[in-house]
Amino acid sequence: MLYIDAKILVRAPWFRAGRAAALAGGVLLTTGAQAQLTLLPSGPQIGTHVGNLVNNGSFETGGPGSTVRFWATGTGATPFGVPPGWTSSGGPSNYASWGRDGGPGPRIRSSDILPHGGNALYFGNGQSATLSSAPVFNASGEVTLSSPPMTSAPFALPVVLTQSVATHLAPAASYVLSFWISGESSGFATAPGTDGIFGLRVTNTQLGDPQRYFVVPGGGPSFGASHRFEFSFTPINPSLPVTLEFTNWGHFSLGAFGFAGTTELVLDDVIVNPVPTPGACGALALAGLAAAGRRRRGRWSTGR
């Protein structure tokens, strides 16, 4: 497993300003041929609960609260229930759970503390996942794989969560996707896990609807106990919705690459917001770049 560490780069003011520029760049994409799903650099949270187009994005509606419920269709485990607004799938042996357990918290499966409300989803699917070659964990949190992950019996199917988001009913030049992730056992430094991998597909944003891969934080030094991913996207066909799809194959067995089994996905606080008009977002980008320039000039003038 290879880590590309660029924490100093990510903390640089000019790199943070690029977050605003990337967001503005997404807004300028107005034709299907230019549509894209752009991972934004880490920074202050952009997604807001006000105007969220995702139905039950924090899994609070119908949530079991201080207990757990199994949610991935296909399991024989009980009690069972899929969070309203979402659809699910998995194999008969999956044990994906919804709610919270343990503490201090709220947490689920010893994750980091949940960011919003008292319910989250754990994508439990056993020691079933394998890779044909070592993954590359990039500093952005995106993971490079040479081939798709595989699962094995008895967990022969991945755990998948989906929702169709009605972006076509809230027209905008661009949108922000925001969600929080953690990993099983990542919230306790005494027993952190190894960083894992999950899949993300956002349909109607990239030609062919490709699946991309991202890190599940295991509590170690590279990605910590949790992370918020944010993206800018423009639908290819603005008259159609986009579908969010989160996939977990299970704990990856990476012994062949010199690493222990990985953690598994915990998901919470999923948000999709329309972005303001191109002029407003362009001004945001310019303001960010100007502020970065002022900070650089100030350091140069003082000799730092």
Q: Domain for residue 256, yes or no?
A: yes
Residues of the domain holding 216: 2-299
**CA separation for the pair 259, 254 (Å, rounded):** 5
**CA separation for the pair 257, 248 (Å, rounded):** 20
Structure tokens at 249: 């194959």
**pTM of the prediction?**
0.83
pLDDT at 226: 96
Q: Domain for residue 270, yes or no?
A: yes
CATH number of the domain bearing residue 118: 2.60.120.260
The total number of structural domains in the chain stands at 1
Q: Domain for residue 287, yes or no?
A: yes
Q: Domain for residue 294, yes or no?
A: yes
Q: Domain for residue 304, yes or no?
A: no
**CA separation for the pair 182, 110 (Å, rounded):** 9
Tell me which residue has tokens 């485990």.
Answer: 77
Share of the chain above pLDDT 90, in %: 65
**At 31, is the pLDDT very low, low, confident or very high (cuts 50, 70, 90)?**
very low
pLDDT at 26: 42
